[in-house]
Chain A
């Protein structure tokens, strides 16, 4: 293809590298220049670093114990020996300080994880069967509405049934609620609208039909316990808290005997038999319960992100939003905490969702696929190209070489992705997502990911950190492995998959590849329709239709999180 296309990162690179930011003296030059002047201005060139330096000094003075001091870096040579530049959230015009994309400094990132961790989906049908068949209690839309009103009082921590109980302050738990959804239009019509996630309203008609067909006549509760509870305890607490309040609400709403044996059945259904966790529990060596990030399958992540219902005609955009959400949660929060601590993982992850470099690569691929394979990258089922190794090789090779050549033709992009792991993630995510969009097959996309790693390593004589060389050289062998535990469908793999557990910089890409396969087909969901519908809810503090923009709002300090404690602490 001709090389005259406008690069999607051009504007971002120009502003980052040829315009002054703070006092970094980055004025002039071209984004294609191979040479630059390094002014070694230190941290004082950057507004956020100056703010942090001042805060560090004040803290040291106040507590009588030294703290943050940028001169402690590298034996007295501070950060900023090259220009400290801002970044743009990909797909937006939001320019932010890189420091503000660390999850500690970004309330939106924290809330995205809070909103996942505090969520579970709970079936209603088992409970209703217990009530109707065992106890002979009639369940009607009216009783369901009454129950939901009771539960929306109880779930945040309001008392029912028992007398003289302590309760949580409603203003501290105002983000906690439960809603209901069903594939049964007749039942949905009877549910009080304040409680309903209306599939017909939230999804395009074609997707709504798919979801309703998958969910059928069953009905489900989307329960979100308080952020403050989840943050104080852990993800495994979510179903326990929910089940306790669900059990109490059934007792109250249906005037049951608090001690009768049927209550145990309701509890069992809510805690185990009828509950969908966002993530599976982890083995002892990683030691986390359910609903922790290491247990969230890539297919679940693809379903939590809601771009597919607001921009269904653009599969690449859908995959790119999943990249952002996945890299933030899996790399910055999960691997950045259980595997390692500190700050480094932010650099890995942000490369995939900042400055449009990955976006440019993937949209180039879309054009390439549509030209060569008759529109196979457009949303559809009949237009997909058959998934085979020749197709994987063709698309992944073109994608990877295009991406590599961008680093060579635009040295500012190479400087932006200054680490090989950043480059490897971006290149492979583009290649893998492109293959999955074209074929509608996540494992074919994964195959493209691994080929991209091989090509990258041979082209540049380098790849990423040790993990890339370890896992990415053996990965192709388990893409279609005949051994089921190795050859699992990508939708069902997750961060705890055997050789992914140390895979920094990969998992957001894997989630995107999963998402791309289904977005390319126009599927309403990747693996679980219940999770897709559960997050189709604008009452959640974090907007899952546009994770990257939300991260930008967090970085710009415009995002309003939940679970704040200002009500119960001294005013400042």
Chain B
């Protein structure tokens, strides 16, 4: 019988959502065009070529090397793209993703990515077109609620702040706003105004966000109620501690 990846312990909806994020088997909820994605990322003008830092690998006459034969370069690396970033901020009020599960999703399901995980933000650096592939995936799927998550290159503390009345996560730079029943972005990741507004689609209802979230909360799925997760945290703790004390155990 083939081994089936288990990804994460736990018997709750939060644990199940964590497994989904890690496996990459998440539901697609919306579309964002390549042009819109380029606009909000803010790294280059829509339609322009990808700036490169070196010629395409095929033209570089690289020496023979067994690792090169084993590991195929990503499209961005093949083309010589520069390294660029996408940075997400997820509200602690039931945003679907959390920084760690964005990172796990990136590291498990995408190649050539360098995820960085902090409390308020999660950044992925990669060759530009590879980064865009990941950004598009995470924006278009249930990993992102446009009201409770955002693309933010700076000022990320909205993740822990109370929500404004319209339910759109506080953003010091006001990159997004709710217009009618959709969320629009009118500045890029670092807060520079963009040429036109980009619609990110409808926000999730409170109920839907609570259903899809990967954060434990006492007012939704409490961490203390997921005994299996706590048991596994204890197991990791025991083993790391005992290994340092007496490795042969």
Where the two chains meet, the residues of A that have a C-beta atom closer than 8 Å to any C-beta of B are 33-38, 74-75, 77, 81-82, 389, 393, 397, 401, 404-405, 407-409, 411-412, 414-415, 417-421, 423-424, 447, 450-451, 454-455, 457-466, 469, 474, 476-482, 486-487
* CB-contacts of B120-162 with A (<8 A): 120, 154-155, 157, 160-162
Q: Which 5 A-B pairs have the closest CB atoms?
A: A420-B119, A461-B98, A477-B244, A459-B223, A480-B245
Is A466 in contact with B116, judged by CB distance below 8 angstroms? Answer: yes
Closest to B116 in A: A466
Give, as a whole number of angstroms, the nearest-CB distance from A467 to chain B.
Answer: 10
Where the two chains meet, the residues of B that have a C-beta atom closer than 8 Å to any C-beta of A are 18, 92-93, 97-101, 116-120, 154-155, 157, 160-165, 167, 170, 172-173, 191, 214-219, 222-224, 229-230, 233-234, 236-238, 240-241, 243-247
Is B217 in contact with A462, judged by CB distance below 8 angstroms? Answer: no
Residues of B within 8 A of A405 (CB): 218, 222, 224
Q: With A405-B222, A462-B119 in contact, do A34 and B162 touch (Cβ < 8 Å)?
A: yes
Q: With A36-B162, A455-B230, A466-B116 in contact, do A461 and B215 touch (Cβ < 8 Å)?
A: yes
Closest to B97 in A: A461
Q: B241 is contacted by which of A417, A418, A477 (Cβ under 8 Å)? A: A477
Closest to B246 in A: A482
Task: Name 30 A/B residue pairs within 8 A (Cβ), A-sorted.
Answer: A34-B93, A35-B162, A36-B162, A74-B155, A77-B172, A77-B173, A389-B237, A393-B237, A411-B162, A417-B160, A418-B161, A420-B160, A423-B119, A447-B241, A450-B237, A454-B236, A454-B237, A459-B215, A459-B223, A461-B97, A462-B117, A464-B118, A466-B118, A476-B240, A479-B244, A480-B241, A480-B245, A481-B244, A482-B245, A487-B244
Is A415 in contact with B161, judged by CB distance below 8 angstroms? Answer: yes
Q: With A423-B119, A460-B98, A461-B214 in contact, do A393 and B234 touch (Cβ < 8 Å)?
A: yes
Is B223 in contact with A463, judged by CB distance below 8 angstroms? Answer: no
New A-B pairs, 9, CB < 8 Å, besides A82-B170, A461-B215, A478-B244:
A35-B165, A36-B164, A37-B164, A81-B172, A404-B218, A405-B218, A421-B119, A460-B215, A482-B244
Closest to A393 in B: B234
> CA A77 – CA B241 in complex, angstroms?
47
Is A476 in contact with B241, judged by CB distance below 8 angstroms? Answer: yes
Q: With A404-B223, A415-B162, A455-B230 in contact, do A479 and B241 touch (Cβ < 8 Å)?
A: yes
Closest to B166 in A: A35
Is B162 in contact with A465, judged by CB distance below 8 angstroms? Answer: no
Give, as a whole number of angstroms, the nearest-CB distance from B249 to chain A.
Answer: 11
Residues of B within 8 A of A455 (CB): 223, 230, 233
> CA A35 – CA B165 in complex, angstroms?
6
Residues of B within 8 A of A37 (CB): 164-165
Residues of A within 8 A of B119 (CB): 419-421, 423-424, 462-465
Is A419 in contact with B223, judged by CB distance below 8 angstroms? Answer: no
Closest to A414 in B: B160
Closest to A463 in B: B119
Q: With A75-B191, A466-B118 in contact, do A415 and B160 touch (Cβ < 8 Å)?
A: yes
Residues of A within 8 A of B101 (CB): 461
